Amino acid sequence: MAPGRRRSGSPLVRWVLRIIAVGYVLGLVALPVGTVVQHTFENGLEPVLESLRNPDFQAAARLGVFVAVISVLINTVFGIGISILIVRYRFPGRRLLNAIIDLPVSISPIVVGIALIFVYGTNGWFGPALNSMGIQIIFATPALVLATVIVALPLVVREVIPVLEEAGTEQDQAAQSLGANGFQRFVRITLPTIRWALAYGVVLSLARSLGEFGAVRVVSGSVAGVSQTPTLFVNDAYQEFGAQAEQDAFTAAFLLMCVAVLFIVVIALLRPKEQNQ
């Protein structure tokens, strides 16, 4: 490569490009994020601690973590299963399944929420039957979990499939000829092969699950202390009147942001490990 090519263009163009890039990131990301931090600590630490003591906030945080953990567990188990199914087996409808898994990425979460109501709501397909058995899905925790599972569905699968494809089936066959049964092969060969991709997918799902708003908003009813997740708490508190309500909204938003940053750090640490394999 010619030495001149490495830094093409005039210094002026370079500076203009830099300023545009920095300005873009500042305006779109740093400034809004900074505003949240600033508003949160505007009146010192005491109002923040007051927000943290709000029982509705605490309930929302507990519910949010509960829903996220259950959803991630479900998506991990089914994600591994679906990945193995798609990579190692050939069956009619395999490509369709592969395409459907990506659907939650492309459809708006609000559509997911409405679809769930059509199926499980009071006037939905299964709603009345489930109601008569005393099981409530919509406007209760099960709907929150369902919505979150759907929205985060592709994340584990899309991380695990390429790794499984690259690993091929020979290691599995070798283990088989050495006497390992299906379970032993899964634990000793498949899991260690996909572990970093799986960890990455789990963290992504966790972040997505905690931050989910649209689908959850539709199916939750957002009853404070009952079916309100942290994102719904932020939304509702922000729309309420009163200084403390606004403070609550900022505190919760700030915490959600902190968790997101934490996940970004974890992901940044996991990424190289996955690629090294």
Partner 1 sequence: MSISVSGINKRFGDFVALDNVSLEVPTGRLTALLGPSGGGKSTLLRIIAGLEFPDTGSVEIEGVQATWLPPQKRSVGFVFQHYAAFKHMTVFKNVAFGLEIRRKPRAEIRQRVMELLELVHLEQFADRLPSQLSGGQRQRMALARALAVQPEVLLLDEPFGALDAQVRKELRDWLRNLHDEMNVTTIFVTHDQEEALEVSDEIVVINGGRIEQVGAPADLYDRPANDFVMKFLGPVTTLDGQLVRPHDIELLAAPGQEAIEATVTRLTRVGFEVRAELRTSKGGSEPWVQLTRIQAQELDLEPGRSVWLRTTHAPKTLAVS
In the complex, the residues that contact partner 1 under the rule CB under 8 A are 167, 170-171, 173-181, 184, 188-189, 192-193, 277
| Inter-CA distances, 134 with 37, 115, 138, Å | 44, 22, 12
State both tokens at 167: 């690993």
Q: Quote the CA–CA distance of 162 and 272 in Å, as a whole number.
A: 16
Q: Give the nearer residue to partner 1 in terms of CB position, either 53 or 90.
A: 90
Q: Give the nearer residue to partner 1 in terms of CB position, either 151 or 163.
A: 163
For residue 27, what is the DSSP state? Answer: I
Cα 89 to its chain centre, rounded Å, is 28
Q: Could you tell me the smallest distance in angstroms from the CB atom of residue 163 to partner 1?
A: 11
Q: Give the nearer residue to partner 1 in terms of CB position, either 162 or 221.
A: 162
Nearest alpha-carbon partner for 145 in 76, 220, 225: 220
Q: Could you tell me the smallest distance in angstroms from the CB atom of residue 269 to partner 1?
A: 19
Q: Give the nearer residue to partner 1 in terms of CB position, either 139 or 196.
A: 196
Q: Give the nearer residue to partner 1 in terms of CB position, either 114 or 167.
A: 167
Q: Quote the CA–CA distance of 111 and 249 in Å, as a whole number.
A: 26
Q: Could you tell me the smallest distance in angstroms from the CB atom of residue 178 to partner 1?
A: 4
Q: Could you tell me the smallest distance in angstroms from the CB atom of residue 250 to partner 1?
A: 46
Alpha-helical regions (H) of 28-140: 31-40, 45-53, 55-88, 94-106, 109-120, 127-132
Q: Quote the CA–CA distance of 166 and 86 in Å, as a whole number.
A: 13
Q: Could you tell me the smallest distance in angstroms from the CB atom of residue 90 to partner 1?
A: 11
Measure the N-to-C terminal CA separation of the chain; round to a whole number of Å: 31
